C-alpha cells in the first residue's frame, strides 16, 4: 500500500514539473514516462474506434489524418515534462549540462511533430518528409550520444576495456556493454522503417519498432542505474560509517547474524590484541 501511494504521488508530481525542486525519483520517473510514448501516442486509436462505433472499419483509424494533433500532443507530453524538469534543474544549479539535456527532449518533440505532419500529408516526399528526416536524424544522433556519454558514461579513453569506462559493475558481462552500445544506436534510427511505401503493413512496422524500443529502454535502465550507483559511490553518497563511539559488545561474539559494521570492529579489536 505504501509503495503504491508513493508511486501515485510521485507520478502525479510529474504534471507539476517546474514548480518544485527536481530530485532523482522525479527525473527517473520522467524517463520511465518517456518509455510510454508509443502506447500514449497510439491511444487515440481507441478514441477513433469509439467514435466510429467499433465497426468493422476500425483499422482505418491508423491511417486517419483527423487525429494527428492529438497523437502528437500525447507523444510529446513525456518529452515536454522532461524538458521542463531540465530547465528547472538548470535554474536551481546553473549547470549548462541540464540545458543540453533539455535540448535533447526539445529536438524529440520536433521530430514527432514533423512525423505526424508528414503522415497527415499522405506520406509523400515533399517538404514535410525532408523536415522529418532531418529532425529525426538530429534527434537520433543527439539522444544516442547523450545515452552513451552522459547516461552511461561510456566511450572513455584509457579505460580497461576499449570504449567503456574504468569501473564496471557488470564486469563479468563485458560483451553486453558492446551489444548495448551498438543496439542502442541502431534502434535510435528505427524510424527509417516507416519510410518505404512498399513492404510490410504499417501495423507490422509499428509492432517491430515497439518491440525494439522495449529492448532499448530495458537495457538503458540497467546501465543508467549502474552509472548512477557509481556516481553515488564516487561522491560518498552511500557510505556507511561506523557510529561513534565504538561499541564493543562481547556478549555477541558468536552471533552468526552480526552485521558488517560489527564484524569490522571485532576484526580491529583482534588485530590490536
What digits encode the pLDDT tens for the residues 202-248? 778 888 998 999 999 999 999 999 998 888 777 655 554 555 555 55
Percent of the chain with pLDDT over 90: 48
- Across residues 102-110, what is the average pLDDT? 96
pLDDT recorded at residue 134: 95
What is the distance between the alpha carbons of residues 129 and 197, in angstroms, rounded to a whole number? Answer: 13
The more confident residue out of 151 and 2 is 151
What is the distance between the alpha carbons of residues 168 and 177, in angstroms, rounded to a whole number? Answer: 10
Nearest residue to 174 via CA among 188, 186, 158, 163: 163
> Which grid cell sits at 18?
517546474
The more confident residue out of 47 and 95 is 95
pLDDT level of residue 267 (50, 70, 90 thresholds) = very low
- Across residues 82-97, what is the average pLDDT? 94
pLDDT recorded at residue 248: 53
What digits encode the pLDDT tens for the residues 35-85? 999 888 888 777 777 777 777 666 667 665 677 888 899 999 999 999 999
pLDDT recorded at residue 244: 57
pLDDT recorded at residue 151: 93
pLDDT recorded at residue 49: 76
> Which grid cell sits at 10?
510521485
Mean pLDDT of the chain: 83
pLDDT recorded at residue 164: 94
Listed in sequence order, the residues at least 6 apart from 63 whose beta carbon sits closer than 8 Å to its beta carbon are 202
pLDDT recorded at residue 148: 95
What is the distance between the alpha carbons of residues 40 and 114, in angstroms, rounded to a whole number? Answer: 17
pLDDT recorded at residue 257: 41
pLDDT recorded at residue 63: 61
pLDDT recorded at residue 264: 43
pLDDT recorded at residue 107: 96
- Across residues 119-140, what is the average pLDDT? 90
Where helices occur in the chain by DSSP H, the ranges are 2-13, 24-34, 37-41, 44-51, 68-93, 96-120, 127-146, 174-188, 202-234, 260-272
Long-range pairs for 24-30 at CB < 8 Å and ≥24 separation?
24/228, 26/85, 27/82, 27/85, 27/89, 30/78, 30/81, 30/82, 30/85
pLDDT recorded at residue 59: 64
Asked if 166 and 156 count as a contact pair (C-beta separation under 8 A), the reply is: yes
End-to-end CA distance of the chain: 51
pLDDT level of residue 256 (50, 70, 90 thresholds) = very low
Amino acid at each position: 500500500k505504501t509503495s503504491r501511494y508513493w508511486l501515485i504521488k510521485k507520478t502525479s508530481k510529474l504534471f507539476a514539473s517546474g514548480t518544485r525542486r527536481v530530485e532523482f525519483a522525479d527525473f527517473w520517473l520522467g524517463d520511465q514516462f518517456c518509455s510510454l510514448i508509443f502506447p500514449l501516442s497510439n491511444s487515440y486509436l481507441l478514441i477513433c474506434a469509439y467514435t466510429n462505433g467499433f465497426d468493422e472499419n476500425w483499422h482505418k483509424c491508423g491511417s486517419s489524418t483527423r487525429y494527428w494533433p492529438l497523437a502528437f500532443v500525447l507523444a510529446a507530453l513525456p518529452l515536454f515534462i522532461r524538458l521542463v524538469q531540465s530547465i528547472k534543474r538548470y535554474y536551481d544549479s546553473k549547470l549548462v549540462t541540464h540545458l543540453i539535456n533539455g535540448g535533447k527532449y526539445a529536438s524529440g518533440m520536433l521530430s514527432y511533430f514533423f512525423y505526424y505532419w508528414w503522415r497527415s500529408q499522405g506520406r509523400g516526399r515533399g517538404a514535410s518528409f525532408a523536415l522529418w528526416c532531418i529532425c529525426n536524424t538530429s534527434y537520433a544522433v543527439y539522444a544516442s550520444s547523450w545515452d552513451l556519454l552522459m547516461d552511461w558514461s561510456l566511450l572513455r579513453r584509457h579505460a580497461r576495456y576499449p570504449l567503456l569506462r574504468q569501473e564496471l559493475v557488470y564486469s563479468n558481462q563485458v560483451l553486453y556493454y558492446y551489444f548495448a552500445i551498438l543496439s542502442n544506436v541502431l534502434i535510435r534510427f528505427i524510424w527509417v522503417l516507416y519510410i518505404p511505401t512498399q513492404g510490410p503493413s504499417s501495423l507490422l512496422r509499428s509492432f517491430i519498432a515497439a518491440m525494439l524500443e522495449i529492448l532499448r529502454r530495458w537495457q538503458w535502465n540497467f546501465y543508467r542505474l549502474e552509472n548512477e550507483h557509481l556516481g553515488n559511490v564516487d561522491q560518498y553518497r552511500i557510505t556507511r560509517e561506523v557510529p561513534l563511539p565504538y561499541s564493543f559488545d562481547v556478549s555477541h561474539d558468536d552471533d552468526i547474524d552480526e552485521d558488517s559494521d560489527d564484524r569490522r570492529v571485532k576484526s580491529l579489536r583482534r588485530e590490536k590484541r
